[in-house]
């Protein structure tokens, strides 16, 4: 879609709607481009000096059918109706990929956690309370039709979007391994997907519940980037939070916070502690592989080498995730990831890319 731009940066229609929202003439409206993260979306902070909001331009990827923008608008509205802490849409045209949202500020959990290492547990308990509210209340009235990218985290989704993603983006594209090298992993992948995926639409998960998507706003924890939500195992979001490479929570704190979550969730999850722990071990491993794939893809295919610096922390977590799963759970995967040649190749490849890009 061709979009007329204001000042070669911001779509003209978005600028006009921001002017109307603030009652500002062109000279008074303040527009500040904001740096993005891993997506193609473009963000702007707009305001009149007293009030401010976030303007978002996200070009549609799908002409027909539901698009990521539609999911963003539909899911955001649903979460607001469930009284969950997400930004309010002040104006939206999903069909054009244009939005003006409540501004949740610039302080995300990563910044807070890295500045308060001695007080991580109290900070993360506040975050887990938000996660508990999400898992308890978001499923009520949630429709699979809201989801642009499949409505459920089931075994086929796990295979395609996480495990084969890891194979392509991390093993083949980053490390340069031949696709035949991963043939022995397929049986382990199928077993892991069967354990991690769900078949019933019982709970809604965020699927990217990590420190850069959690904002400190007016004394509360706010949630952003919710367009990928779907039905799935609640333990996935907990794992995403606890093994987040941006923060690198110590393992003992992870164990403490996992227990804190369980004590709050046991009354509505409808499963035993043993079932919850089994789910957590499986989805933690899946999330770990997905993280490695995403950082490799963003760093290599998308030309954003700053993400590659987080791969070593995720790699260390992977070794722990495999140990948690048990020596016989995924033998080919465990053996391959512990292969000294793979580790040497990873160090060589990362060192080369990071040096070339001065990251």
DSSP string, 153-168: --HHHHIIIIIHHIII
Tell me the mean pLDDT in the region 280-294.
98
Contacts 24+ apart (CB under 8 A), 339-346: 342/175, 342/177, 345/175, 345/176, 345/177, 346/174, 346/175, 346/311, 346/315
Residue 343: band (very low, low, confident or very high) from pLDDT cuts 50, 70, 90:
confident
Q: What is the pLDDT of the chain when averaged over all its residues?
A: 92
- Whether the per-residue pLDDT at 359 is higher than 70: the answer is no
Residue-wise pLDDT tens digits, 144-200 = 999 999 999 999 999 999 999 999 999 999 999 999 888 899 999 999 999 999 999
18-102, which class in CATH?
alpha beta
Lowest mean pLDDT among 22-36, 195-209, 220-234: 22-36
The rounded distance, in Å, linking the Cα atoms of 222 and 224 is 7
Q: Map tokens 């109307």 to a residue.
A: 20
- pLDDT confidence of residue 189: 97
- pLDDT confidence of residue 39: 76
Residue-wise pLDDT tens digits, 61-87 = 887 889 999 999 999 999 999 999 999
- pLDDT confidence of residue 78: 98
pTM: 0.94
Residue-wise pLDDT tens digits, 97-147 = 999 999 999 999 999 998 888 899 999 999 999 999 999 999 999 999 999
Q: Map tokens 């980037």 to a residue.
A: 225
Contact call for residues 307 and 38 (beta carbons, < 8 A) = yes
The rounded distance, in Å, linking the Cα atoms of 334 and 126 is 35
Q: What's the token pair of residue 249? A: 């929570």
Residues of the chain with CATH 3.30.200: 18-102
Classify domain 109-357 at the CATH superfamily level.
Aminoglycoside phosphotransferase (APH), C-terminal lobe (3.90.1200.10)
Measured at the CA of 24, the angle between CA 21 and CA 30, to 5 degrees, comes to 95
- pLDDT confidence of residue 6: 55
Lowest mean pLDDT among 20-24, 207-211, 214-218, 336-340: 20-24
- Whether the per-residue pLDDT at 237 is higher than 50: the answer is yes
If phi over 0 gives left and psi between -120 and 50 gives alpha, with beta otherwise, what is residue 248? left
Residues of the chain with CATH 3.90.1200.10: 109-357
Task: Kindly give, in sequence order, each residue whose CB lies less than 8 Å from that of residue 137, ignoring residues fewer than 6 positions away.
Answer: 82, 83, 84
Residue 315: band (very low, low, confident or very high) from pLDDT cuts 50, 70, 90:
very high
């Amino acid at each position: 879609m061709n979009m007329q731009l204001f000042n070669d940066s911001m779509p003209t229609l978005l600028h006009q709607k921001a002017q109307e929202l603030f009652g500002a003439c062109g000279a008074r409206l303040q527009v500040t481009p904001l740096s993005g993260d891993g997506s193609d979306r473009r963000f702007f902070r707009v305001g009149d000096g007293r009030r401010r909001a976030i303007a978002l331009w996200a070009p549609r990827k799908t002409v027909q059918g539901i698009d990521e923008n539609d999911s963003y608008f539909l899911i955001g509205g649903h979460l607001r109706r469930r009284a969950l802490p997400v930004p309010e849409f002040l104006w939206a045209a999903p069909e054009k990929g244009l939005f003006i949202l409540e501004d949740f500020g610039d302080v995300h959990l990563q910044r807070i956690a890295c500045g308060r290492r001695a007080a991580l547990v109290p900070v993360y308990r506040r975050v887990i309370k938000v996660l508990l509210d999400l898992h308890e209340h978001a499923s009520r009235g949630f429709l699979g039709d809201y989801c642009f990218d499949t409505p459920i985290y089931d075994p086929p989704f796990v295979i395609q979007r996480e495990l084969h993603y890891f194979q392509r983006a991390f093993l083949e594209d980053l490390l340069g391994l031949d696709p035949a090298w991963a043939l022995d992993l397929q049986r382990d992948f199928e077993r892991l997907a069967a354990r991690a995926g769900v078949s019933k639409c019982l709970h809604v998960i965020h699927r990217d519940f990590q420190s850069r998507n959690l904002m400190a706003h007016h004394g509360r924890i706010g949630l952003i980037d919710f367009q990928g939500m779907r039905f799935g195992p609640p333990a996935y979001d907990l794992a995403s939070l606890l093994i987040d490479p941006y923060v690198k929570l110590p393992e003992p704190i992870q164990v403490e916070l996992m227990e804190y979550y369980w004590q709050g969730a046991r009354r509505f999850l409808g499963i035993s502690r043993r079932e919850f722990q089994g789910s957590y071990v499986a989805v933690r491993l899946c999330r770990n592989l997905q993280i490695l794939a995403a950082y490799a893809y963003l760093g290599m295919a998308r030309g954003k080498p700053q993400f590659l610096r987080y791969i070593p922390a995720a790699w260390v977590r992977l070794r722990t995730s495999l140990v948690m799963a048990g020596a016989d759970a995924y033998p080919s995967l465990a053996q391959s990831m512990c292969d000294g040649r793979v580790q040497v190749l990873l160090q060589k490849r990362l060192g080369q890319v990071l040096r070339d890009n001065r990251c």
